[in-house]
Structure 1
């Protein structure tokens, strides 16, 4: 299953909007208040270098960024992100770890910050799902 160019563009646009969505989620920022890290997140073919400080995304830049390190990477196919962001995702497409199990996503690097703040990352990366559901209703 190959994503259409429009689907990939929609996923990239949704990712670029996550910092603004996060700014409107103070409880989620509070949950991540102890998190400071550099990571790579996004669709396999268009990753973003993400800088998180105190639970806020302070920088989201398309990767690769020359000479910038990162602790971990979570990348998934555009199809996986589109399915994950549906208002009611199908089983196996509903969770970040489920996506890795079905080999639609890859988690690599130093997993400690990701696993220590797993619920934060699950909720932060699901923000486009909640946004699209609110717009549709």
Structure 2
């Protein structure tokens, strides 16, 4: 699916997330805020109870988040392909072998890993806005 604006992307990502059966079943405690850094685009995602409360495109330096996932636009483009190439299929594979970095409160990331992984896999449907 191709989206034309960052607002379209935000709405589509939220819609896919909030209607996802796995996130509805397992997301009761999936409450956190995190940053996706794609070099030219940054996305702050705030979730509560498995639902997306707010998506902020290109947040300011004082907008709070608990952890960040940073990678080049190329890595995010490959990560978000419907069938990603080897070593782009997950955040740990990409962080061990590619340029993806995990920063911040990694305990929160690990506590929410199952739901976060499901949420990031939605990028394979909606793509990335970068």
TM-score by length of 1: 0.76
* Distance of 2:126 and 2:9 partners within structure 1: 12
The Cα of 1:30 is off from its aligned counterpart by 2.8
**Counterpart in the other structure of 1:56:** 51
- Equivalent in the alignment of 1:96: 91
Deviation at 1:64, TM superposition (A): 2.6
- Segments of structure 1 that go 5 or more residues without pairing to the other structure are 1-8, 133-137
RMSD of Structure 2 on Structure 1 (CA): 2.5
| CA distance, structure 2, for counterparts of residue 49 and residue 20 of structure 1 | 16
What is residue 107 of structure 1 aligned with on the other side?
A: 102
Where relative contact order (Cα < 8 A, 6+ residues apart) is larger, the structure is: 2
In structure 2, the gaps of 5 or more residues are none
Q: 1:18 aligns with which of 10, 13, 16?
A: 13
Verify the 8 A CA contact 2:29 2:50 in the aligned structure 1.
yes
What residue in structure 2 maps to residue 3 of structure 1? none
Match of 1:4 in 2: none
Query: Where does 1:28-39 land on structure 2 (aligned, <5 Å)?
Result: 28-39=23-34
- 1:131 and 1:63, CA in 2 relative to 1: closer, same or farther beyond 3 A? closer
Give runs of ≥4 in structure 1 deviating > 4 Å.
12-15
Alpha carbons 2:13, 2:126 under 8 Å: kept = no
| Contact kept? 2:18, 2:50, Cα under 8 Å | no
Aligned equivalent of 1:79: 74
Aligned equivalents of 2:92, 2:7: Cα separation in 1: 23
Aligned-residue offset at 1:98: 0.9
**Which residue matches 1:6?**
none
Q: Shift of residue 103 of structure 1? A: 3.4
Q: Is the 8 A contact 2:9 2:126 kept in 1?
A: no
